Amino acid sequence: MKIGIIGAGTMGSGIAQVAATAGCQVMLYDTKQEALDKSKAKLEKILFRLIEKERIDETEKNRIEGNISYVNALKDLAKADLTIEAIVENLDIKRKVFQELESYQREDAIIASNTSSLSIASIAASLKKPERVIGIHFFNPAPLMPLVEIIPAVQTSEEVKNKVVQIITDWKKVGVLAKDTPGFIVNRVARPFYGEALRIYEEGKASFAEIDQAMKELGGFRMGPFELMDFIGNDVNYTVTETVFAAFYYDPRYKPSFTQKRLSEAGYLGRKTGKGYYDYKDGKPVSPSGVEGSISKEKANQILDRILVMLINEAADALFLNIATAKDIDLAMTKGVNYPKGLLAWANEKGIDWCVKKMDALYEEYHEDRYRCSPLMRKMDKNDETFQVS
């Protein structure tokens, strides 16, 4: 199978590696020769490291590298069966690139976007054959992260959807189907992990380090919210939050934080700038207060419960609005962002009644629509039901 990749950045290069490893002939396109050279050199370094770890041998390394050609003309992707775009998150630029690409490709070729939050329907509408367009959203780093969100637009044909599901399976990835709504599954459901942590901090109830400690030590999360935002980059994370907030007609559940906005404006973007919520001068995160996090069990439980129930409520609402199945929502959060448990399975464990009471208590305290309980959970609580996640 011939695969075209548009964009030789980190994501495009990672997808190219995945497809080449699966035995596809890959054509990696970028307008900048420097980006192509850098991608090629980085792949060689990655494969040498895999040889050192005895995960592949020299023959496999040569096979993978031989499956990728590097091109700097979009028309060089003319013979691709599937082309995946992984460029800047700008709708107008994506549409322009897709229109040019369509002029070179045969009618049955599939064109996909790796966008994390833009409308697939809007991208598809720019083409003469919108039914060939679909969203295929990988997670970074693509070769290591198992999850791929597959997002059919309203125009996408059933045949294209089924073909893509099979391709992703053949590439040994975990594919989940998501409705074409802002943030799809992961970037929608994960918003409270950041947003509610920021809200707790802004209310003066806990420090960055205390919140991170609670989520890691009690919740079992690999990284706390502030560590993770520093890792992602405060500029990137804030932009995604702002985009989702606007796309959902300014629903208060997705309201961005002034704390993160100010850090982003100041250039305190996290690890990549050496300063964010933490200071990274020596490589390791140091709390700005100098306190690395010492928190009582009671306070830690309060933090975990508040963030967790908001996450569960968001997952329940995604199911209520048919964004994805219960199984795919839980798969997305465990395989896409390494959550210790699926949120809906976690809700079953805590009890649906516990979730409803916690949400109602938050609403009673704040009287903000941000804390409205999902109608699905309220109904399930009345009928003594649980989420069917298997």
- Tell whether the torsion through CA atoms of 309, 333, 261 and 137 is positive or negative: negative
pLDDT class of 295 with cuts at 50, 70, 90: confident
- Round to whole Å and give the CA distance between 192 and 254: 8
Structure tokens at 289: 């207060």
Per-residue pLDDT tens digits for 70-85? 999 999 999 999 999 9
Task: Decide if 319 contacts 348 (C-beta within 8 A).
Answer: no
- Round to whole Å and give the CA distance between 308 and 215: 9
Please name the residues in contact with 278: beta carbons below 8 A apart, sequence gap of 6 or more. 208, 209, 226, 227, 230, 285, 286, 287, 288
Q: Which residue has the tokens 């993978």?
A: 64
Residue 291 predicted with pLDDT over 70: no
Per-residue pLDDT tens digits for 19-65? 999 999 999 999 999 999 999 999 999 999 999 999 999 999 999 99
Mean pLDDT of 331-337: 96
- Tell whether the torsion through CA atoms of 255, 257, 260 and 266 is positive or negative: positive
Q: What is the pTM of this model?
A: 0.92
Which domains are present in the chain? 2-177 (3.40.50.720), 187-389 (1.10.1040.50)
292-296: long-range contacts at Cβ-Cβ below 8 A with a sequence spacing of 24 or more? 292/209, 293/207, 293/209, 293/210, 293/212, 293/213, 294/210, 294/213, 295/206, 295/210, 295/213, 295/214
Per-residue pLDDT tens digits for 139-159? 989 999 999 999 999 999 999
Percent of the chain with pLDDT strictly greater than 90: 92
Query: What is the side-by-side order of every strand in the sheet holding 133-138?
Result: 68-71, 25-29, 2-6, 82-85, 110-113, 133-138, 147-152, 174-177
Per-residue pLDDT tens digits for 296-314? 999 999 999 999 999 999 9
- Return the pLDDT at 292: 56
Residue 294 predicted with pLDDT over 90: no
Please name the residues in contact with 46: beta carbons below 8 A apart, sequence gap of 6 or more. 17, 143
Q: Which residues are catalytic?
A: 116, 137, 149, 187
pLDDT class of 236 with cuts at 50, 70, 90: confident
Whole-angstrom distance between the N-terminal and C-terminal Cα of the chain? 33
pLDDT class of 293 with cuts at 50, 70, 90: low
